[in-house]
Structure 1
């Protein structure tokens, strides 16, 4: 029996992947990194540590991984919180969260984004009361597609992995959910790139397709 729903954030709660892509390529240009959008898509859903460790090795950057992470995170937060940045919840997300709360499901955000970004988004759209827990990839040792972040979220919610369903828009996120022994709903977000969601138990194109009584 499903007792908890765990949400990824970027590309699931908010349509932020285009913002990540836009900012990342400005930063890549500054660092003289040549990368295609298709190459970048493999990092969607992963932590900053995973991404920059790989990029540093691939492009032989002199910068430390720590300095690259700080540069990216500080720059993206400034970019995200700018008055000129237009971002909103994905259609039907507020209604879905409200229905889950009314039906006594536990809920969590489990995102590879840093907590400062998670809290900014959740508070900005007045969604804080809809979640029992907020979890960042910084809390665990291994990035998606490893299951660590979802297992951590389940523990915080005090439910077993089998009692959880994860909603993800990325290949890495779907694999992480299945590696955690959880049911997974894959959300086909066209702005998240060509993500392989085939391992998900169900694939949806809109959140009004979810029947919470049959999770």
Structure 2
């Protein structure tokens, strides 16, 4: 979802800046790029706070930071160029679609709700729905099970190293969305796109030949 449906990372950075500023911390954009994009909050908070954050403390801190993000982003929801048209093409072909995010359910509800596509997603999984986070393939394997589709017949769109790795680890084809990282910063994907403009269904189907 983040960096794949909407380019949310700049807004997550703002939320984290405000969150960390309260704690007299000021990570650089380079540090955010390396240790935030595509990572789960347990990892992010543990890294920047310099100690293991888990359990009830993680839930409290995550709720604080994600609340900041939703307040900042609620009036800024804007899909990546061409996404809505591409999604409409997928649905017109009768293809099953799922969202599998490391973000909390409230973020998923905000973004998918704002775009009005929730009723067209046959599976919606957020961080609360898995015990292991990307690059572990759990969220993608659960998504495939929800869709009733074999993993090898699934195609994942991902913008981060951990996310693309999760898709590959699930035995799925992966399209790297270059919204946050370069090709060299991602594992070896089956296809790379800058955005969804001019992306054809036939091109995606050819990945399975």
Q: TM-score, normalised by structure 2?
A: 0.87
Cα distance, 1:60–1:140 mapped onto 2, change above 3 Å: closer
Task: Choose between structure 1 and 2 for higher RCO, CA contacts under 8 A separated by at least 6 residues.
Answer: 1
2:145 equivalent in structure 1:
155
Q: Match of 1:15?
A: 7
Unpaired runs of at least 5, structure 1: 1-8
Cα deviation per residue 1:23-70 (whole Å; 9 max; x = unaligned)?
1111111122242222222331222233223334x2588x93232112
Residue aligning to 2:201: 212
Cα drift, residue 153 of structure 1: 0.9
- The answer to whether 1:38 aligns with 2:30 is yes
Q: Which residue of 1 aligns with 2:175?
A: 185
Q: Is the 8 A contact 1:135 1:149 kept in 2?
A: yes
Structure 2, unmatched stretches of 5+, are 205-209
* Aligned length in residues: 200
Aligned to 1:80: 73
What is the TM-score normalised by the length of structure 1? 0.84
Moved more, 172-181 or 32-41: 32-41
User: What SS is found at the alignment partner of 1:134?
Assistant: strand
Q: Is the 8 A contact 2:37 2:160 kept in 1?
A: yes
Cα 1:111–1:98 change in 2 (3 A) is same
**CA RMSD of superposed structures (Å):** 2.1
1:157-176 pair list within 5 angstroms: 157-176=147-166
Q: Does 1:66 align with 2:59?
A: yes
**C-alpha separation in 2, matches of 1:186 and 1:207:** 11
Tell me, in whole angstroms, the C-alpha distance in 2 between the residues paired with 1:175 and 1:209.
25
Q: Which residue matches 1:26?
A: 18
The alpha-carbon deviation at position 213 of structure 1 amounts to 2.3
Contact 1:183–1:200 under 8 Å retained in 2: yes
| Structure-2 separation of matches of 1:74 and 1:173 | 23
SS for the counterpart of 1:106 is coil
From 116, 122, 130, give the equivalent of 2:106.
Answer: 116
For residue 131 of structure 2, what is the aligned residue in structure 1? 141
> How big is each residue's C-alpha offset from its partner over 1:96-121, in whole Å with a ceiling of 9 and x where there is no partner?
11111111110001111111111111
Between the aligned partners of 1:213 and 1:21, the Cα distance in structure 2 is 36
Q: Is the CA contact 1:110–1:153 (under 8 Å) kept in the aligned structure 2? A: yes
Paired with 2:52 and 2:132, the residues of 1 have a C-alpha distance of 23
CA contact (8 A) 1:98 1:130 kept: no
- Secondary structure of 1:32's match? coil
User: Which residue of 1 is the match for residue 207 of structure 2?
Assistant: none
